[in-house]
Amino acid sequence: MSVWLVLAVNSVTFGGLLFLLSAGFSLVFGLMKIPNLTHGSFFMLGAYLATSLIAWGFDFWTAAVVGGLLVAVFGGIVERFILRRLAGAELAQVLVTLGLSFMVADVCLLVWTGDPIRIDTPAALRGATSLLGVGFPTYRLAVSLIAVVFAAGLWALLDRTRLGAMIRAGVDDADMARVTGIRVSRLFTIVFCLGAWLAGFAGVIGGPILSVYPGLDGEMLPLALVVVILGGSGSLLGSLVGSFVVGFLYNFGQAMFPELAYVVLFLPMLIVLVVRPQGLFGRPAA
Amino acid sequence: MKGIALGAALVALATLPLWVSGTFYVNIASQILFYAVFALGVNVLAGYAGLVSLGHAGLFGIAAYTGGKVLGAGYGHLTVAAAAIAVTLCASAVFAVLALRGTGLGFVMITVALGQIVWGVAYRWIGLTNGDNGVTISGRPAPFGLSLASPRAFYWATLLVFLLAVASMAVFVASPFGASVRGTRDQPRRMNALGYNVWMIRFLAFLLSGLWSGMAGLLFLYYNQFVSPQAVALTASAEALLMVISGGTATLLGPIAGAALVVVMKNVASAYIERWNFVLGAIFVVIVVFMPEGLVPGTVRLARWAGTAWRPPAGGSRGAPRLRRGAAERMGGVGGHVGAPHNNIEP
């Protein structure tokens, strides 16, 4: 009983992290039509930057926010100076983001060495919290809560604000949005930076659970891809549902078929591709 | 003229181990040849069919692993080769059915995911693939009693496969099938309207691509007598794609030049610096941003541009249009070679 409960909590936590990672990926893909293969690197880079910030004496949450901001600045530079130059050439953009991800991975290896670095759990959130008579790790509950808050915040941003309406218009039909006077290229930068920030932030708050090590980028990126293929690109609800499906599959898969966990993870993606190629919550291509 | 050049190239390739001193360089030449076979395979999809795969290292690895496992089970080399190619073709068919659910970017993402599944099996399914330690085989085959154990003998065997691959590509490009593959890249809707089965054409192109990727994987296994998850990683797929793109997509010589470039760079770079991945990433970025049509057409363009720039004013009447053509090609390179296949609206 308790083993399954622990697994379930871990799954929810991991799903929450994946949501933070994939929401940005999905929006960037939906709006800009770029499968940004540097997204896993953003996640890893954020975590690595935070380890340095914490070593310099910043507290965990400042490190998480600032680490995310540094990643967002990097993302902004990539978007404005490289991806912008290649506007319209989608494949070239994919290849550039792939090349960049190799470069980021190698620089991280150089700066932070190949040893895994653990980010310490913030002191206030150590230990366990008792809920309904069962003890849960406090930090994992906090991460799940953060994911829920961000999901609500992102939903409000997209559904209730002018900026959100413009982003949705851009996802639906970028050309039409341009004609109505929306500066879609500025939206690109905003969404790209927001996605990078979310990924970097997720990397930091995932640090106490996953720690940071070379190859983390390559492990997270396919997960984000699976989430987006499952949920449908550009759909926030799709990312949310997809993230939790993947979170549960990953944790339960690892417990039940340790050698095949990674494969189990891709099965729902394959089924969705065959049955509903546009994703669970995506709209069919026009 | 073309025939003489071809003959000279053949003679040079065939006699290479005789005038190149040192087994190191012969081994590098073998590597270039089997990676060129791989790049030619990837080029069928990325170049002629306009479907960019980032999961082909999976097919390459499936062939190598199958070969290693079947050999480990005690079968002969003929069975090993047959099994490796058969399994790779089956895997290609599965990959194709799934990946062809999407085109353009969808295709790229699905192939990334498929490649990662193979990597996951290679890395984590320790009972089958021995995980990170990889699969080791003992010895190279000796077809018709000729041992391939020496670097020279292996080079000639690889050369034979390479020439077969090039010949098959030449036939493929010139054939009606090759034309229909290019048709589905440029005008899928019109091809459909003309009564071609676009899906089937792409599926067959995928199988052809998988076949040569598998052959390359088998040569890789015999060359290294070892295969590990590294051969299946996303980086390996990216390297193969870099060979195709750096050399020039949808050309016969491009992938070969690209394979030579990447293998030489990798060996030279790893002799001096530890950071091959950084160099690989940087080349990717530079090529895509500055020379999107690939090195071979790109160099031709730059040479032509340099030629017109240095030409005395008397030749200006001929030079000016050339310069414009150069510029047009450059812009066409971004949209045409790399981007255009994905601008098409699918039927």
Residue that wins the pLDDT comparison between B207 and B275 = B207
Is the pLDDT at A284 greater than 60? The verdict is no
Phi, then psi, of B186 in degrees rounded to 5 = -85, -40
> Does the A2-122+135-275 domain belong in CATH 1.10.1240?
no
> How far away is chain B from the Cα of A11, in angstroms, using its nearest Cα?
20
Rounded to the nearest integer, the mean pLDDT of chain B is 80
Contacting residues of B for A260, CB less than 8 Å apart? 121, 124-125
User: Is B102 near chain A, with CB under 8 Å?
Assistant: yes
Count of all residues that appear for chain A in the document: 286
Alpha-carbon torsion B315, B320, B322, B323, what sign? positive
Neighbours of B251 (CB within 10 A): 21
Contacting residues of A for B56, CB less than 8 Å apart? none
Share of chain A above pLDDT 90, in %: 18
CA dist., res. A119 & res. B143, Å (int): 56
Contacting residues of B for A100, CB less than 8 Å apart? 281, 285
Q: Quick check: helix, strand or coil at residue B180?
A: helix
Find the mean pLDDT for residues A9-14: 87
CA dist., res. A230 & res. A224, Å (int): 10
Neighbours of B101 (CB within 10 A): 18
Query: Which helix (H) or strand (E) element contains residue B7?
Result: helix B2-19
Residue that wins the pLDDT comparison between B303 and A158 = A158
Q: Which of A95, A101, A102 sits opposite B245 (nearest CB)?
A: A95
Find the mean pLDDT for residues B45-60: 89
The number of angstroms, rounded, from the C-alpha of B63 to the middle of its chain's C-alpha atoms is: 15
Find the mean pLDDT for residues A255-281: 76
Per residue, the 3-state secondary structure of chain A, as one string, reads CHHHHHHHHHHHHHHHHHHHHHHHHHHHHHHHCCCCCCHHHHHHHHHHHHHHHHHCCCCHHHHHHHHHHHHHHHHHHHHHHHHHHHCCCHHHHHHHHHHHHHHHHHHHHHHHCCCCECCCCCHHHCCEEEECCEEEEHHHHHHHHHHHHHHHHHHHHHHHCHHHHHHHHHHHCHHHHHHCCCCHHHHHHHHHHHHHHHHHHHHHHHHHHHCECCCHHHHHHHHHHHHHHHHCCCCHHHHHHHHHHHHHHHHHHHHHCHHHHHHHCCHHHHHHHHHCCCCCCCCCCC
What is the model's pTM? 0.80
Does the distance separating the beta carbons of A262 and B123 come in below 8 Å? Answer: yes
The tokens for B281 are 């990433």
> How far away is chain B from the Cα of A43, in angstroms, using its nearest Cα?
18
List, for residues A175-223, the tens digit of each pLDDT value: 888 898 888 888 888 989 999 999 999 999 988 888 888 888 888 888 8
Contacting residues of B for A82, CB less than 8 Å apart? 285, 289
Residue B322 pLDDT grade (very low, low, confident, very high; cuts 50, 70, 90) = very low
Q: Quick check: helix, strand or coil at residue B112?
A: helix
Contacting residues of B for A265, CB less than 8 Å apart? 120
User: Is B105 near chain A, with CB under 8 Å?
Assistant: yes
Phi, then psi, of B136 in degrees rounded to 5 = -110, 140
CA dist., res. A174 & res. A180, Å (int): 10
- What does the DSSP 8-state code read for residue B344? S
The complex scores an ipTM of 0.75
The tokens for A191 are 């969404």
> Nearest Cα to B207, choosing from B51, B342, B32?
B51
List, for residues B88-141, the tens digit of each pLDDT value: 999 999 999 988 887 777 788 888 888 888 888 888 887 788 777 888 887 777
> How far away is chain A from the Cα of B124, in angstroms, using its nearest Cα?
5
- What does the DSSP 8-state code read for residue B286? H
Does the distance separating the beta carbons of B127 and A259 come in below 8 Å? Answer: yes
The tokens for B220 are 């890789």
Lowest mean pLDDT among A153-162, B7-16, B35-44, B45-54: B7-16
Residue that wins the pLDDT comparison between B225 and B270 = B225
Q: Which residues contact A31 (CB under 8 A, 6 or more apart)?
A: A167, A170, A171, A174, A187, A188, A191, A234
Residue pair B268/B282 in contact (Cβ under 8 Å)? The answer is no
Which residues sit opposite B227 in a β-bridge?
A: B135
Q: Which of B109, B127, B281 sits opposite A99 (nearest CB)?
A: B281
Q: Which residues of A134-143 are buried (b: 16+ CB within 10 A; e: fewer)?
A: eebbbbbbbb
Q: Which residues contact B187 (CB under 8 A, 6 or more apart)?
A: B344
Taking only residues 312 to 341 of chain B, the set having a beta carbon closer than 8 angstroms to any beta carbon of chain A reads: 334-335, 338-339, 341
Q: What is the pLDDT of residue A226?
A: 85
Q: Which of B110, B121, B343 sits opposite A263 (nearest CB)?
A: B121
Q: Which residues contact B334 (CB under 8 A, 6 or more apart)?
A: A86, A88, A89, A92, B292
CA dist., res. A62 & res. A59, Å (int): 6
Neighbours of B274 (CB within 10 A): 11
Does the distance separating the beta carbons of B278 and A102 come in below 8 Å? Answer: yes
Does the distance separating the beta carbons of A229 and B292 come in below 8 Å? Answer: no
Q: What is the pLDDT of residue B329?
A: 35
Does the distance separating the beta carbons of A102 and B284 come in below 8 Å? Answer: yes
CA dist., res. A229 & res. A238, Å (int): 9
Find the mean pLDDT for residues A126-144: 78
Q: What is the pLDDT of residue B293?
A: 66
Does the distance separating the beta carbons of B281 and A95 come in below 8 Å? Answer: no
Find the mean pLDDT for residues A5-17: 87
The tokens for B139 are 């010895």
List, for residues A29-59, the tens digit of each pLDDT value: 877 777 788 999 999 999 999 999 998 988 8
Question: How many CB pairs below 8 Å do chains A and B form together?
Answer: 140
Written as one letter, the residue type at B55 is G
Q: What is the pLDDT of residue B296?
A: 66
Strands B135-136 and B226-227: antiparallel
In chain A, where are the structural domains located? 2-122+135-275
CA dist., res. A19 & res. A259, Å (int): 25
Is the pLDDT at B294 greater than 50? The verdict is yes
Is the pLDDT at B53 greater than 60? The verdict is yes
Written as one letter, the residue type at A272 is V
The number of angstroms, rounded, from the C-alpha of A256 to the middle of its chain's C-alpha atoms is: 25
CA dist., res. B344 & res. B347, Å (int): 9
Q: What is the pLDDT of residue B212?
A: 93
Residue to test with chain B: of A94, A96, A101, most B Cβ within 10 A: A94
Contacting residues of B for A274, CB less than 8 Å apart? 98, 101
List, for residues B2-36, the tens digit of each pLDDT value: 788 888 888 888 777 777 777 888 888 888 999 99
Residue B340 pLDDT grade (very low, low, confident, very high; cuts 50, 70, 90) = very low
Within 13 Å of residue A276, how many CA atoms lie on the same side as its CB? 13
List, for residues A52-77, the tens digit of each pLDDT value: 999 898 888 999 999 999 999 999 99
Which residue pairs, CB below 8 angstroms and at least 24 apart, start in A149-154? A150/A19, A150/A20, A150/A23, A150/A198, A151/A19, A151/A23, A151/A236, A151/A240, A154/A23, A154/A236
